Amino acid sequence: MELKEYLHDRSALVDQALDHWLPGEDLWPGSLHQSMRYSVFAGGKRLRPILMMAASEAVGGTAQQVMHAACAMEMIHTYSLVHDDLPAMDDDDFRRGRPTNHKTYGEATAILAGDALLTEAFRLLANADANRLIAPATVLRVIELVARYAGSQGMVGGQVVDMESEGKVIDFPTLEYIHTHKTGGLILASVQAGALLGGGNEEQIAALTRFGGAAGLAFQIADDILDVVGDQTELGKDVGSDQARGKATYPALLGLAEARQRANELCDIAVESLTPLGTAAETLQLLARYIVNRNS
C-alpha cells in the first residue's frame, strides 16, 4: 500500500474510534464536550496513532489491537496542544487551521477540556484489553510508559524547560533535552506501546525503541525547520513564531543546512534500526522519511 493511502486509511480508522469513544456534544456538560471535540476533530495528521499501528503491524500485531491506546495518545497530544496555545503559555490564535480552543470557548473551558482529554485518555488506556486480545500485565506496562513520557519527566518537563529557556542562550544538551522530552517522548511512547500491544518480543521492542527515539527527535527538528520555511496555510498555524518568541531551535543554534542534515541523519538511524524487523517494517521506514520531509 502507498504511504498516502495508508495515512488516509489509518487516520479514518482513528477518527471513527475517537468519535465512538469521546463523549457526545449533547452530553451534559455540552460546552466541555464540544470544546474537547472541537480540538480533537480539527484535522490533525494522527501521526502518533498511525505510528502505533504501524509498530504493532511491524511485530505481527494489528491496527485494531492498539486502537484504544492509539486514540488515548491522540487525546493526550491534543490536550498538550490546547494547553500549549493558552495565553499563559504560547498564546497562539491558530491551530490546525482554525482559531485555538481558548479563542473559541474561553480560557477556563480550554483548560478543562485539556484536563478532561488527558483524564479520558487514561480511562481508554485502562480498557485496552477490552477485546481480551491483550494481557492485563501488558496494559499496565503501557499505562506506565505513557504516564512516564507524558508527565514531569517527559512532555510536561520538556515544556517547562522550553518555557524557562525563552529569550535565553541555551546550550545544545538543553535544546536536545527540550526536543526529546517535549515532543520526542510521545512519539517514542507511541512506537513502544505499539510494539508491546502488538506482541513484540524484547529484540523487536529494543529495535523499535531505537527507531522511536530517532524518529521523535527528527520530527521536532523538522518542526523547527517548518517554522522557518513552512507555509502558513499548509501548517494551519502561524510560522516564524519560534524566532519571534526567542525560542531555541535547531536552525537557530546550528543554521538551516546543518539542522536539515541532522534531521536526515536521524531518519537514517531510524530506518537502520528497523533491520531486525525485515519487510514487516516497510511502512515504518516510509513514515520515518515522511516525518522529515512533510510540509505540515
**What is the rounded distance in angstroms from the CA atom of residue 288 to the CA atom of residue 296?**
15
User: How far apart are CB 84 and ligand GRG at their closest, in Å?
Assistant: 4
Q: How far apart are CA 143 and CA 82, in angstroms?
A: 22
* Residue 44 beta carbon to ligand GRG: minimum distance, rounded to whole angstroms: 3
CB 164 → ligand GRG: shortest distance, Å?
13
Among 126, 143, 156, 228, binds ligand GRG (CB under 6 A): 156
The minimum distance between CB 294 and ligand GRG, in angstroms, equals 8
Q: Shortest Cβ distance from residue 295 to ligand GRG (Å)?
A: 11
96 binds ligand GRG (CB under 6 A): yes
- Among residues 15, 57, 223, 242, the one that binds ligand GRG under rule CB under 6 A: 223
Contact 220, 175 (CB under 8 A): no
Phi, psi of 132, rounded to the nearest 5 degrees: 60, 25
Q: Considering the complex, state which of residue 57 and residue 74 has its C-beta at the smaller distance from ligand GRG.
A: 74
| Least distance CB 158 / ligand GRG (angstroms) | 7
C-alpha separations of 55 from 59, 70, 182, 258 in Å: 7, 11, 21, 29
Site for ligand GRG in 240-269 (CB under 6 A): none
H helix or E strand, kind and range, residue 75: helix 67-84
Question: Would you count residue 44 as binding ligand GRG (CB under 6 A)?
Answer: yes
What residues from 71 to 90 belong to the interface with ligand GRG (CB under 6 A)?
Answer: 77, 80-81, 83-84
Q: Which residue is nearest to ligand GRG (CB)?
A: 44
Asked if residue 239 lies in contact with residue 227, where contact means CB atoms within 8 angstroms, the answer is yes
Measured from the CB atom, the residue of 45 and 141 that comes closer to ligand GRG is 45
Cell readout for 3 is: 504511504
**182 near ligand GRG, judged by CB under 6 A:** yes
In the bound state with ligand GRG, the residue whose beta carbon lies nearer, of 14 and 134, is 14
Q: Which of 254, 186, 259, 177 is nearest to 226 (CA)?
A: 259
Nearer to ligand GRG, 10 or 83 (CB): 83
- Contact status: 155 vs ligand GRG (CB under 6 A): yes
* Pick from 212, 187, 185, 188: nearest CA to 277: 212
Which of residues 33 and 182 has its CB atom nearest to ligand GRG in the complex?
A: 182
Least distance to ligand GRG from the beta carbon of 203, Å? 29
Q: How far apart are CA 212 and CA 192, in angstroms?
A: 7
Stretch that binds ligand GRG, among 44-52, 126-134, 204-212, 265-273 (CB under 6 A): 44-52
8 Å CB contact between 118 and 75: yes
With CB under 6 A as the contact rule, the residue among 11, 34, 39, 159 that binds ligand GRG is: 159
Per-residue exposure over 77-96, b if at least 16 CB sit within 10 Å of its own CB, e if not = bbbbbbbbbbeeebebeebb
Question: Of 81 and 113, which has the nearer Cβ to ligand GRG?
Answer: 81
Rounded to the nearest 10°, the torsion over CA 136, 69, 186, 224 is 170
DSSP state of 23: P
Q: Which three cell numbers stand for residue 110?
A: 480550554
Residues of the shown chain interacting with ligand GRG in the complex, contacts defined by CB under 6 A:
44-45, 47, 77, 80-81, 83-84, 96, 155-156, 159, 182-183, 220, 223
